[in-house]
Chains A and B, each alone.
Chain A
Amino acid sequence: MSKRAPTPPITGPGSEQWRTTEERDNPKAFENAVAAEFPPGAAELDGSSRREFMQLIGGSLALAGVTQLAGCKDPPQHVLPYNVKPTDVTPGRPLHYATALTYGGVANGVIVTAWEGRPTKIEGNPDHPVAKGKTPTVAQADILSLYDTDRAHEIKHRGAGVGWVTFCKTIRTHVETLKGDGGAKLAFLAEASGSPLLASMQKRLQTEFPKARWYGHSSFSMDEAYEGAKLAFGRPLETQLDLTKAKVVVTLDADILGGWPQWLAQQRQWAERRAPGVTMNRLYVAETQMTCTGMMADHRVRSRASDIARIARALHAAVAGGTGDAGDAKANAWVKALAKDLLGAGGEAVVIVGPRQPAAVHAMAHAINATVKSQAVSYTAPILPSYEPLTALAEELKGGRVDTLVVTAWNPSYSAPADLGLGKLLAKVPNAIYLGTHEDETAHDVAWFVPRAHELESWGDARSIDGTVTIQQPLITPLYHGICVPELWSALLGEGGVGGYQLLRSSYAHLDEIGFQIRLQKGLIEGSALAKESPTLQTASVTGAVDKLAAAPSGIEVNIVPDYKLLDGRYANNVWLQELPDPVTKLTWDNALLLSPATATKLGLARNDLAEVKLAGQAITASVLPSPGHADDSVTITLGYGRNLGTETNARGAGTDVAPLRTAGRWFAAGATITKAGKGEKLAITQEHWAQEGRPIALELNNRPSFKRLPIVEEGHKGHGETEHDEDLKTVHEQQGPVESMYQPHIYPGFKWAMAIDLNKCTGCNACVIACVAENNIPVVGKEQVRKSREMHWIRLDVYFSGDENDPSSVQPQPMMCVHCEKAPCEYVCPVNATVHSDEGLNEMIYNRCIGTRYCSNNCPYKVRRFNFLDYHPNVQNVARMGMNPDVTVRSRGVMEKCTYCVQRIERARIDARVAGREIADGEFTSACAQVCPSKAITFGSLHDKTSEVSRAQDDPRAYDVLHELGTRPRTVHLARVKNKNPEINNG
């Protein structure tokens, strides 16, 4: 580690600050002195745990701060309490602000909770037409990225710190010299964004530098989709989906239920139509690796990613009345039945293609959707602008034709396809300016590095997927003096002093002050969704493209996908996401080579082996993880890992960088050779056992027109109306109803807090897990502790496979957290009364009474209690502590903890209700997990109100108690999952 312990920022906008005269006169020597006094000591840290490493880093940080104070005493300053309180700030009461977070340039409307200026929690904006109160999984973790201490805090010119004013002056003077030839030597590398502000700024820049070129780079490129629309309709279009109007949903390599952050609305719409019965939708999935969508599929075929086109082609032909070869017999049967289902759905059908697939596949989907007269699809103009491709930029750079390159795309040196060698090319650009959150791989290659503000520190806007303009307002002054993209671009225009607010405000100059404030408050501009277009399908063009589709070469395919957690690697330093188990494999802190068990056997590979993957002369070495349900002859590995060069300390040592294999930006390619390269480290996986062992834990039913809650079946007798085919229903009934007891049931006169989890809607997307982490100050324990099964997540998202290990017939995610048993086995065994029952039915943990015998965990049949085996909140002065929820105790080591039903939210609602002199209304508040769940699988509330949402859910015929026979009377019930099988498909 070459980096010295970070010292607080010394430069920032509008100031050239110094702490001592020595520092002012000889900044380098001062820096060296600090570094010499507190050497990073990286060498002796080899082999130590990540946690110890973090503690040491934290400690050295604190020490550096302490001596800095001792060495340079500021004149005494006095702080004063609020004398006249600002009208909108009440200490101890959080405020909520609407803003936006963007993924791949597309906005997600969010509401951020802030305590006296410190943001602590992100939730979806309920008024936002796309978010509707929900967020993607990664958005929940963004709060931690805000407080990331590894973020850059200094403008640097070739490694030397520069002040903001100097930077603005230097850059402006330099850019003036480029004006002569209309900015022909000026280029921009941006991430395509649907921001009207950026679009208007781009226009201004284009006016000033008409010959400047604009290149785009993003791992979340929608280019193939736009290209596909161009083939089908003659112009690029955004496909807008409304899955509430689809009874038959087909996804071709499209992970709509938890993947790619832009699918948030699809998850909700799909779940809305998932209620069992005649209106229930049917999900057909063709994909390579098992995904959240694949786990929920009614019928799934696994196929190499490069063979998805073949399936699409067969389906395209079948819908048109012809036939085509989809691959094997199973896929052919699947396509045949599916085509019939699509045509028979009366327009309530849709085919969705993932953004990784080539344009022709998208075009075929458009054609099929047109043929079946899909009501679920509509079209608007594209959200994202189109830029010149990265390959063109690489050519320009090779030719030395760019003098000044303004990079605002995320970390191109790492994320661009390796064969472009962009890092080396960037190093040759005389004036490359990179705006980045961290001094990452790209920062080392460019001449100028500018720290980027977090989105929660920035003014801005962006369109969400339906086009709704969503406004971004800062929650906090930039912690590390970062700036946002508009501010950087405005510096090029010579407006260095203009802040993000003025830039945003002036782009909405047509709104008066009140009008602007209303929109700011709401976080969006209502009615700004893009107008629907009705394009005409150009059949000939589609057919032409289809005919041009070459069959994929045989052999083993390498399939690269964005990571569920780190996306393309931009979240690599976010420890919440690093430690979040993958929705399917439950892998943490790593990526791995996923492949089907059959392929693993064929290649002689087993879990934790290292394998070398060679493709077109390039090679990587990664850990192996056989994954049931993966397509044969294909290996999947996610983006975003192997980040060892940047200042992102948490990213180091996690996984393998796949960039060398991603030549020409492709996601998948056949023809790889894979060889065993020894035994690797044990992967940190949170689940060890994947079969239910015939136990009624996560139940699954077949769909039927209606479900009835039947009386409990007596042993040896069949219940009323049951037939031989109702075996699955019988299992559910056995897990319902009261259990015999010698004692009178306890009477709960007031609230009876309870939860219901609908397994039919839970896609395993992990949003609840990370929301719970953010809400309840749940610590991160590190890879080594996860290997020892000591992860602290209160929600355990179990996944159960059944059927064949290569092609499982069913994959069931099941969230399992404290079920708040009315007769809780944990309570009577605690020797010190540290876990007791509340009069509202909560199983409560009294942290300061707990002595940590762990007996409660032993006696918990659900094993949902978590123990602080070590001090997981190391006692360092850390800026991340600002992000903690002040309503929730931070647990010390040696203390047991578990789901509390967000008791702090219950109490806050109670206080509010009491002050207002009313009762807590149903739906007035909810737990963090239920709040975020994009498919509304989790409902929380009180059972004393028979009409509450949770009461109705618990009365559902599918509701059952996990481990019912133990008589624990859980307050959290699960609703059995229902599969809506097509009777015409027998297998899969």
Chain B
Amino acid sequence: MADLARTISPSITPEPLIEGPDDDLTLTDSVFAPVWKPTAKGWWFLFMICLGGTGMLFSAIGWTVYKGIGVWGNNIPVAWAFGIINFVWWIGIGHAGTLISAILLLFQQKWRTSINRFSEAMTLFAVICAALYPVVHTGRPWFAAYWLFPYPSTLGIWPQFRSPLTWDVFAVSTYFTTSLLFWYLGLLPDLAALRDRSTGKWSQRLYGIFSLGWRGAGRHWRDYMSAYTLLAGVATPLVVSVHTIVSFDFATAQLPGWHTTIFPPYFVAGAVFSGFAMVVTLIVPAREFLGLKNVITLRHLEAMNKVILATGWIVAYGYAVEIFNDWYSGSRYELGHLHEKMLGPFAPFFWMQMFCNVVVPQIFWKRSLRRSLLVMWIASIFVNIGMWLERFNIIVISLHRDFIPGSWAAYAPTIIDVSLFVGTICFFGMNFLLFLRFVPSVAANEVKELAHEMRHTHV
């Protein structure tokens, strides 16, 4: 497999992946600088906003558990709404991390090194946000929290293994565990470096505990490399499996708009699409404020925009197939669904989704736009919105008008629904800010390794 960046635009001579002085000390200093620097005012400002939002999130969860799902806007027939939309959206966002870390590692894509730590953290936090929803959205979360797992109950009652929701439990928990291990394993050499360079007593001890006795010995490096590659191997199928299984929640149901075989690939592509968009959304400001421009270069960003463009087309193909199948099926219910989607009360959401996910990414055909920080940042936000709308449309439009017209009803979210959604964004942001503050957001060891390679092979 050739260099992805080169495959996409072979005529362009690749720019260096690291700019400026590339000796080990400078690189380490620039990567570790955000950790050593005193906490910036801007960080505190953002952190306090996110902390407030997190408070709101847990208040909303508390209120939901105390009062019941009735505080949300859900009803019959729209029994799933914001809870599941947000779940799928966050899981999708999580995909970029695993893809960048694992698949690109296996494909030996060198450009991944500067952004893999960053995107892995994003994955982890996104999966945490996602995992909140399936339990909170149930009517009786105090039972759901453990009845969904196949624990050896003395009553001999097991979960229902035919239900995609049971598959979800396995898929998401496996994904979370693997992502956590992968991220943490990659952190080890850097945590050790932080420990060694720390001057404070407590930071030395804490970094010492978390670096698990890493000394940088040759054997450590050998075991580390093989474990890291192995985990990458384990994580790779998960990139495909998680969102495939999430898509089964819909595809195995018989609701028009859900019951379709295109969903697994289309969901995976959509997940990568939204995940990369989220990386761009986060990394553009982060590299600016953290002074990481020399290691996260425009070449990285451009490569990601190309991935967004490519996956955007897969998603667009998915939309086209979906629409075609609705028509080709000849089923009055599928056609009815198509009608509701394109012309029904929620039709503006569908057309907005089309604009965000199909039209907006096309700007990345032009190199100058692909390399414009402002353009890519705004475009990535559009994609994030578009992908959220996609899940809204799949879930709410399909449910609110299905087979029997007498059962149709409208849907409107409540303030609690919105609080939960905004709350998870803030919770995610808070985790991310803590990550940026206490852990090097770029893998220093890998960047240094890359710099060495570049010196010797002129990559």
A positions within 8 Å CB-CB of B: 687-695, 697, 785, 788-790, 796, 798-800, 814, 816, 825, 828-833, 849-855, 857-859, 861-871, 892-896, 962-963, 965-966
Besides A828-B160, A966-B254, 5 new A-B residue pairs in contact (Cβ under 8 A), listed by A number = A785-B70, A798-B406, A800-B406, A863-B403, A894-B68
Report yes or no: A867 in contact with B406, Cβ–Cβ below 8 A: no
Residue among B76, B157, B249, B410 with the highest chain A CB neighbour number at 10 A: B76
Known contacts: A825-B254, A829-B253, A857-B77. The answer to whether A687 contacts B157 by CB under 8 A is: no
Q: How many angstroms between the C-alpha atoms of A859 and B398 in the bound complex?
A: 11
Contact at A829–B164, with CB atoms within 8 Å? yes
Contact of A870 among B70, B147, B252 (CB under 8 A): B70
Check A689/B79 contact, CB under 8 A, given A849-B157, A858-B253, A858-B255.
no
Give the 7 A-B residue pairs with the shortest CB-CB distance, closest first: A852-B139, A894-B139, A798-B406, A869-B70, A870-B70, A854-B79, A863-B407
- Which residues of A sit under 8 angstroms from B254, Cβ to Cβ? 825, 859, 861, 966
Query: In the complex, A857 Cα to B138 Cα: how many Å?
Result: 13
- Chain B neighbourhood of A833, CB < 8 A: 157-160
Q: Which of A790, A816, A854, A896 contacts B406 (CB 8 A)?
A: A816
Residues 52 to 87 of chain B near chain A (Cβ within 8 Å): 67-71, 73-80
Cβ contacts under 8 Å, A697 to chain B: 404-406
CB-based A-B contact count at 8 angstroms: 177
The secondary-structure label for the interface of chain B is loop
Cα–Cα, bound, A830→B162 (Å):
8
Whether the Cβ atoms of A689 and B401 lie closer than 8 Å is yes
Decide if A855 touches B160 in the complex (CB within 8 Å): no
* Smallest CB gap from A857: residue in B: B79
Within 8 A of A (CB), among B136-177: 137-141, 143-144, 147-148, 157-160, 162-166, 169
- 18 A–B contacts from the bound complex (CB under 8 Å): A694-B332, A697-B404, A697-B405, A789-B410, A798-B404, A831-B165, A832-B147, A833-B158, A851-B143, A853-B137, A854-B74, A855-B253, A858-B80, A861-B255, A863-B404, A868-B68, A870-B69, A893-B140
In the bound complex, do residue A695 and residue B336 qualify as a contact, i.e. CB atoms below 8 Å apart? yes
Q: How many Å lie between the Cα of A308 and that of B252 in the bound state?
A: 56
**B122-139: contact bitstring with A at CB < 8 Å (1 yes, 0 no)?**
000000000000000111
Given contacts A831-B163, A851-B147, contact A687 B403 (CB under 8 A): no
Smallest CB gap from B155: residue in A: A849
Bound CA–CA A440/B331 (angstroms) = 57
Q: Is B139's CB under 8 angstroms from A895's CB?
A: yes
Tell me the minimal C-beta distance from A728 to chain B in angstroms: 17
Complex alpha-carbon distance, A790 and B79, angstroms: 10
Query: Do A851 and B144 touch across chains, with their CB atoms under 8 A apart?
Result: yes
- Among A687, A831, A849, A850, which residue has its beta carbon within 8 angstroms of that of B169? A831
- B336 and A851 contact, CB distance less than 8 A: no
B415 at the interface (CB under 8 A from A): no
Residues of A contacting B73 in the complex (Cβ-Cβ under 8 angstroms): 788
Q: List the B side residues contacting A790 at CB < 8 Å.
A: 70, 75-76
Q: Which residues of B contact A (CB under 8 A)?
A: 67-71, 73-80, 137-141, 143-144, 147-148, 157-160, 162-166, 169, 249, 252-255, 331-333, 336, 399, 401-410
The chain B residue with its CB closest to the CB of A788 is B75
B395, closest chain A residue (CB): A858
Given the interface contacts A851-B140, A852-B140, A871-B68, does A831 sit within 8 Å of B148 by beta carbon? yes
Q: Which residues of B contact A830 (CB under 8 A)?
A: 160, 163, 165
Q: Which of A694, A800, A857, A893 contacts B76 (CB 8 A)?
A: A857
From known contacts A789-B76, A850-B139, A850-B140, infer whether A870 and B67 are also in contact, taking CB-CB under 8 Å.
Answer: yes
Nearest CB to that of B144 among chain A residues?
A: A851
| A816 and B404 contacting across the interface, CB-CB below 8 Å | yes
Residues from chain B with a CB closer than 8 A to the CB of A788 are 73, 75
CA distance A963 to B333 in the complex (A): 10
User: Across the interface, which residues of B come within 8 angstroms of A859, CB to CB?
Assistant: 253-255
Set of chain B residues within 8 Å of A871, measured between Cβ atoms: 68
Interface contact A869-B74, CB-CB below 8 Å? yes
A318 to nearest B CB, angstroms?
A: 39
Residues from chain B with a CB closer than 8 A to the CB of A865 are 76
CB pair B253–A894 under 8 Å, yes or no, is no
Q: Nearest-CB distance from A550 to chain B (Å)?
A: 44
Contacts of A858 in B (CB 8 A): 77, 79-80, 253, 255, 399
Cβ 8 A contact of A853, one of B158, B165, B255, B399: B165
> How far, in whole Å, are A789 and B139 apart by their CA atoms in the complex?
17
Q: Residue B403 contacts which of A691, A854, A963 (CB distance < 8 angstroms)? A: A963
Chain B neighbourhood of A687, CB < 8 A:
406
Whole-angstrom distance between the alpha carbons of A442 and B94 in the complex?
68
Decide: B139 and A854 in contact? CB cutoff 8 A: yes
A830–B249 Cα distance when bound, in Å, is 11
Q: How far is the CA of A695 from the CA of B253 in the complex (A)?
A: 21
Q: Is the CB of B70 within 8 A of A853?
A: no
Complex Cα–Cα for A894 and B75 (A): 12
Residues of A within 8 A of B332 (CB): 693-695
Given A833-B159, A869-B74, A893-B139, A789 contacting B409 (CB threshold 8 A): yes
B140, A867: Cβ atoms under 8 Å? Answer: no
Q: A797 CB to closest chain B CB, in angstroms?
A: 9
Question: What residues on A are CB-neighbors of B410 within 8 Å?
Answer: 688, 789
Min CB–CB distance A734 → chain B (angstroms): 12
Contacts of A966 on B, CB cut-off 8 Å? 254, 403
A893 to B76, CA, bound (A): 15
Contacts of A867 in B (CB 8 A): 69, 76, 79, 139
Docked CA distance A257–B400 (Å): 33
Q: CB distance A869 to B69 under 8 Å? A: yes
B96 to chain A, nearest CB (A): 28
- B138 to A894, Cβ gap below 8 A? yes
A896 to B144, CA, bound (A): 14
In whole Å, how far is B252's beta carbon from the nearest beta carbon of chain A? 7
- Residues of B near A691 (CB, < 8 A) are 405
A883-B110 Cα distance, complex, nearest whole Å: 74
Whole-angstrom CA separation of A896 from B76 in the bound complex: 11
> In the complex, which residues of chain B have a beta carbon less than 8 angstroms from the beta carbon of A688?
408-410
Q: In the complex, A694→B339 CA distance in Å?
A: 13
Across the interface, which residues of A come within 8 angstroms of B140, CB to CB?
A: 850-852, 892-895
Q: Are B160 and A832 in contact, with the CB atoms below 8 A?
A: yes
Supposing A870-B68, A894-B139, A895-B139 touch, asked if A855 and B76 sit within 8 A by C-beta, the answer is: no
**C-alpha gap A101/B139 in the complex (Å):** 41
**B332: nearest residue on chain A (CB-CB)?**
A695
The answer to whether A962 and B404 touch across the interface, beta carbons within 8 angstroms, is yes
Name the distance in Å between A38's Cβ and chain B's nearest Cβ: 25
> Which of B160, B249, B406 gathers the greatest number of chain A CB atoms within 10 Å?
B406
Q: Which partner residue on chain A sits nearest B339 by CB separation?
A: A693
User: Min CB distance, A970 to chain B, in Å?
Assistant: 12
Taken together as a complex, chains A and B put the C-alpha atoms of A695 and B331 apart, in Å, by 10
Q: How far is the CA of A831 from the CA of B148 in the complex (A)?
A: 7
**A800 x B69 contact (CB < 8 A):** no
Once the chains are docked, how many angstroms separate the CA of A858 from the CA of B76?
9
A893 — nearest CB in chain B belongs to which residue? B68
Q: Which residue of A lies closest to B72 (CB)?
A: A869
CB contacts (< 8 Å) of A965 on chain B: these are: 331
B163-A855 in contact (CB<8A): yes
- Cβ B404 vs Cβ A963 within 8 A: yes
Q: Is there an interface contact between B139 and A695, defined as CB atoms closer than 8 Å?
A: no
A785 to B75, CA, bound (A): 9
Chain B residue, CB-CB nearest to A967: B254
Report the minimal beta-carbon distance from B26 to chain A, rounded to whole angstroms.
54
* Distance between Cα atoms of A32 and B396 in the complex (Å): 54
A115 → chain B, closest Cβ, in Å? Answer: 29
A346 to chain B, nearest CB (A): 40
Q: How far is the CB of A582 from chain B (nearest CB, A)?
A: 15
| Contact partners of A825 in chain B: CB under 8 A | 253-254
**Contacts A861-B402, A863-B402: A852 and B407 contacting too (C-beta < 8 A)?**
no
A829 to B69, CA, bound (A): 20
Residue of A nearest to B398 (CB): A858
Question: How far is A831 from B139 in the complex, measured between Cα atoms in Å?
Answer: 13
Whether A866 pairs with B163 at a CB distance below 8 angstroms is no
Say yes or no: B336 contacts A831, CB within 8 Å: no
